[in-house]
Amino acid sequence: MLVLGIETSCDETAAAVVQDDGLVLSDVVHSQISLHAPYGGVVPELASRDHMNNIRHVIESALRESNSSLSDLGGISVTCRPGLSGALLVGLQLAKGLAWATDKPIVGVDHLVGHLLAVYLKYAGIASSEPELPFVALLVSGGHTALYRVDGADLSQIQELGATRDDAAGEAFDKVAKLLGLGYPGGPVIDRMAAEGNPTTIELSRPMPGRHSFEFSFSGLKTNVMRHVAEHGQPRDGAALRNLCASFQFRVVETLVRKAVRAARSERVQSLVIGGGVAANLELRETLRRACDEHNIRLFVPPIRACTDNAAMIAYAGSLRLRRGESDAATLEMSPHTALRTVTRKGPGRRDRKY
């Protein structure tokens, strides 16, 4: 069965055609980075308008590259939550129209579930392996940072172990990069500069070092960088800037790796999966791989193209429901919130429950 996936939850207009075994036949992404770069972050209204301008072309390109047509499809899968409301509506309304016009079943997919299942995507010419269930997943991106126990693809089989109380890791990268005048998006440029810096020259605080918590918080680390700049001045170039980037990234990576490995050991699972845009960070990948080797945990990292927002993961996640004969044609709606049950309360303060 061929499934058309459509993704417009934030600032990527994407469409893909995927077989129900996970083989990606086409995966087209129109990026809005240049559109939002002058503002240092995503502007929701601009994102929605750009989706409207480009989504038809992106879908046509995905069908053409897969040598398929709408009549060949077994169904349509579209991101319906979470994300920017206006952006989600663009993809959702077009998907509904296509499903009605072609008399195809349609299912909505939670964007986070797409990321958690992206590890099952298969690309021609790229070797891959699949984790056995259950596994622990570290989802780390510009809008989300959380740890999950995954026992299956259904919402009821995915349990949040802990998430960020404030800034997501990717958001912290973008804000620090903006503070340092490094442009948008911040993750790739900080990763490149950190590789040439010394992370031990600047002492930054460790985010949420609590031994018994799987929650995250990166706002304090961001403020720590801001205070360092206020005290020592803006590092314009050279070693000072590279060292500050290295020190900041070291703290983020250390926190993510330490809690992810501890979650896997606590849940007594042998597989750890990482997904989301920040999973493309080279230091995070290498540090996590070394830590997993040390604790005899199998690490599964999707190709970089499957980590960032894409429609292939949406198509695959939707195919699992379409194969069961499910359809959301009469009930499909948009929501800015995830359908996954959350246990982490946002904001500061003490918690009565330990995770």
Instruction: Give the domain CATH number at 313.
Output: 3.30.420.40
Q: Are residues 211 and 244 in the same domain?
A: yes
Q: Are residues 168 and 53 in the same domain?
A: no
What average pLDDT does this structure show over 277-306? 95
Look at residue 109 and give its three-state secondary structure.
strand
Q: Are residues 85 and 199 in the same domain?
A: no
Is 332 contained in some domain? no
Q: Are residues 25 and 162 in the same domain?
A: no
Q: Are residues 294 and 311 in the same domain?
A: no
pLDDT tens, position by position, 90-111: 999 999 999 999 999 999 999 9
Domain count, the chain: 2
CB burial class (10 A; 0-12, 13-18, 19+) of residue 71? exposed
Of 169-178, 217-226, 304-313, 341-350, minimum mean pLDDT range: 341-350
Q: Which of 241, 83, 240 is nearest to 176 (CA)?
A: 241
Is 47 contained in some domain? yes
Q: Which of 351, 342, 347 is nearest to 210 (CA)?
A: 351
Phi-psi sector, 169: left (phi>0), alpha (psi -120 to 50), beta: alpha
pLDDT tens, position by position, 20-43: 999 999 999 999 999 999 988 899
Enumerate the β-bridge partners of residue 304: none
49 DSSP 8-state letter: H
Q: Are residues 146 and 257 in the same domain?
A: yes
Enter the pTM of the model: 0.93
Q: Are residues 159 and 269 in the same domain?
A: yes
Q: Are residues 200 and 67 in the same domain?
A: no
* pLDDT given at position 82: 96
Is 28 contained in some domain? yes
Is 52 contained in some domain? yes
Looking only at the bridges linking them, the beta strands covering 145-150 and 135-140 are antiparallel
Q: Which of 118, 120, 121 is nearest to 131 (CA)?
A: 120
Is 68 contained in some domain? yes
CB burial class (10 A; 0-12, 13-18, 19+) of residue 88? buried
For the chain, the average pLDDT equals 94
pLDDT at 78 over 70: yes
Is 311 contained in some domain? yes
Is 70 contained in some domain? yes
Q: Are residues 102 and 70 in the same domain?
A: yes
pLDDT tens, position by position, 40-71: 889 999 999 999 999 999 999 999 999 999 99
Owning domain of residue 215:
135-302
Is 331 contained in some domain? no
What's the CA gap between 292 and 286, in Å, rounded? 10
Q: Are residues 145 and 196 in the same domain?
A: yes
% of the chain residues with pLDDT over 70: 97
Q: Contact at 8 Å (CB) between 355 and 148?
A: no
Q: Are residues 147 and 99 in the same domain?
A: no
What average pLDDT does this structure show over 348-355? 50
Q: Are residues 142 and 281 in the same domain?
A: yes
What average pLDDT does this structure show over 279-284? 94
* Backbone dihedral angles phi then psi of residue 3, each to the nearest 5 degrees: -125, 135
What's the CA gap between 94 and 100, in Å, rounded? 10
